């Protein structure tokens, strides 16, 4: 776990530095951002990867986010989402799994956010909460036993995403983009604890897992407030 935290910190620091350096160069030319706040909502599908895919299948994903523009390209961002993962493919008795994500971080606009096309990436750190229905596992913790319970825990998590959009509605007086349709892909990295996941992993006869991954692919709309 400590190694995972250290790696996440190094990645976060490196990406933040890459985002802030070009943002400072932009600020030397244009210090005023015509957009101050942004609010968005999205929906799509979340795909579990690795060990998590053994106990849960893909399911709907919904999210909301808010951002504050520090300059024309760099945005402080807070977001929350929920992934409603279904039963796993291996065992029909797998419970439905809900994963809640809440993240704070930065968003950097590769393209000028006042133009028609939007290209941006974001990175953040926060938490992820697993929550399941009640389920029963046979031969756990020992052969012949039958244990009933649920899996619920919160862990450190990181997120990175890429957004492509089109500004389809502009303020008539200032020409500032007011609404954007977008597609977004995210990568969630969740540092689960093997001691907590042993019971949940026993459903598929797999060993307890630690770090797991999810990839939500969503479409949404963003509203800007100049």
For 139-152, what is each residue's pLDDT tens digit?
666 676 677 777 88
- Pairwise pLDDT comparison (119 vs 92), residue with the higher score: 119
pLDDT exceeds 90 at position 28: no
What integer pLDDT is reported at residue 12 of this predicted model?
A: 54
What integer pLDDT is reported at residue 2 of this predicted model?
A: 47
- Say if CB 130 and CB 97 are below 8 A apart: yes
What average pLDDT does this structure show over 35-54?
Answer: 91
pLDDT exceeds 80 at position 1: no
Tokens of 61: 């994903």
Nearest to 130 by CA among 159, 152, 103, 149: 152
Start-to-end CA span in the chain (Å): 43
What integer pLDDT is reported at residue 190 of this predicted model?
A: 94
Question: Average pLDDT over the chain, rounded to whole?
Answer: 82
Q: Which of 70-79, 90-99, 209-218 is the least confident region?
A: 90-99
What integer pLDDT is reported at residue 141 of this predicted model?
A: 67
Q: What percent of the chain has pLDDT over 90?
A: 47
pLDDT exceeds 70 at position 118: yes
For 180-198, what is each residue's pLDDT tens digit?
999 999 999 999 888 877 7
Ordered domains of the chain (ranges, CATH): 2-225 (2.40.160.20)
pLDDT exceeds 80 at position 80: yes
For 120-179, what is each residue's pLDDT tens digit?
999 999 999 999 877 777 766 667 667 777 788 899 999 999 999 999 998 877 788 899
Q: Which residues pair with 48 in a beta bridge?
A: 214
């Amino acid at each position: 776990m400590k190694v995972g935290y250290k790696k996440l910190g190094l990645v976060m620091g490196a990406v933040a530095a890459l985002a802030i350096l070009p943002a400072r160069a932009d600020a030397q030319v244009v210090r005023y951002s015509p957009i101050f706040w942004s609010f968005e909502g999205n929906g799509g599908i979340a795909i579990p990867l690795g060990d998590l895919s053994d106990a849960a299948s893909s399911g709907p994903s919904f999210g909301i986010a808010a951002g504050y523009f520090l300059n024309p390209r760099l945005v402080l961002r807070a977001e929350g989402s929920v992934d409603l993962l279904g039963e796993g493919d291996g065992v029909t008795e797998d419970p439905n799994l809900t994963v809640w994500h809440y993240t704070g971080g930065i968003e950097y606009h590769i393209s000028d956010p006042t133009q028609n096309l939007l290209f941006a990436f974001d990175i953040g750190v926060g938490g992820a909460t697993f929550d399941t229905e009640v389920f029963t596992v046979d031969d756990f913790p020992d052969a012949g036993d039958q244990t009933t319970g649920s899996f619920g825990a919160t862990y450190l998590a990181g997120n990175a995403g890429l957004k492509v959009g089109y500004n389809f509605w502009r303020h008539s007086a200032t020409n500032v983009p007011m609404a954007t349709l977008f597609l977004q892909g995210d990568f969630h990295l969740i540092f689960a604890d093997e001691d907590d996941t042993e019971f949940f992993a026993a459903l598929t006869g797999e060993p307890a897992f630690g770090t797991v991954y999810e990839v939500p692919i969503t479409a949404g709309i963003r509203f800007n407030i100049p």
